[in-house]
Amino acid sequence: MDEAITLKSNFSTLVMEYFDIVDERDRVISKMTRKNCHSNPHFIHRTVHVFVFNSKKQLFIQKRGENKDMYPGFFGSSATGHVEAGDNYSNTAFRETKEELGFEPEMLTPMFKILIRNEEQSEFITVFFCFHKGQITANPAEMVGGEFMDVEEVKNQIDEKKDEFTPFFKETFLKYYHDFWVPNGNGEDEEGSNSGR
């Protein structure tokens, strides 16, 4: 099947992770452990979200693994990851896409950056997108599965079942939906200027 989803075996190793701490202009000012970043909203750190579309311009939505320390079992972006100290958004996006979805994208295009805060943490998120026509091999250490969905259906699901989606995905998706997505667009394929136009 052209766009089938399979699961692969994987063993993860627990290591101490450090993230760059940035100011409100996304300039590095220090570094902090993952645990501290996830328990104090004063520590702004960097993450990436990758939106993967298939040939029908459907968006892959993953269901996070029950073992995740943040939002286990919630639905979210195709792939996500924290930018480790000393790394950058682009490298992280390519790495997380391969690690979580089992393929190496030829190109990842940045769409926007957004600062999102809540009572637990603060993140500068850069959202990338790509098109993928082949197989997705979901990493069971990261997710329990996922599916491609029409963009309008994702919006409807968020409206109806908002508590089932991670807060960061909801904000990034809604910005994408309102600022980039064009319903019944002009039919450009993956060579077009962005994923909705």
Q: How confident is the model at residue 16 (pLDDT cuts 50, 70, 90)?
A: confident
Q: What is the DSSP letter of 58?
A: P
Under DSSP, is residue 194 helix (H, G, I), strand (E, B) or coil?
A: coil
pLDDT at 162 exceeding the cut of 50: yes
Maximum alpha-carbon separation in the chain: 48
Q: Which fold has domain 5-179?
A: Nucleoside Triphosphate Pyrophosphohydrolase (3.90.79)
| CA distance to 20, 26, 36, 126, 154, per residue, from 30 (Å) | 6, 12, 13, 19, 37
Between 168 and 9, the higher pLDDT residue: 168
Whole-prediction pTM: 0.86
Under DSSP, is residue 190 helix (H, G, I), strand (E, B) or coil?
A: coil
What is the predicted pLDDT for the residue at 10? 45
pLDDT at 180 exceeding the cut of 50: yes
Under DSSP, is residue 175 helix (H, G, I), strand (E, B) or coil?
A: helix
Cα separation of 38 and 118, whole Å? Answer: 10
Q: How confident is the model at residue 7 (pLDDT cuts 50, 70, 90)?
A: low
Which pLDDT tens digit goes with each residue over 42-76?
A: 999 999 999 999 999 999 999 999 988 889 999 99
Contact 108, 95 (CB under 8 A): no
Task: Domain ranges for the chain, please list them.
Answer: 5-179
Give the residues across from 136 on adjacent strands.
5
What is the predicted pLDDT for the residue at 13? 46
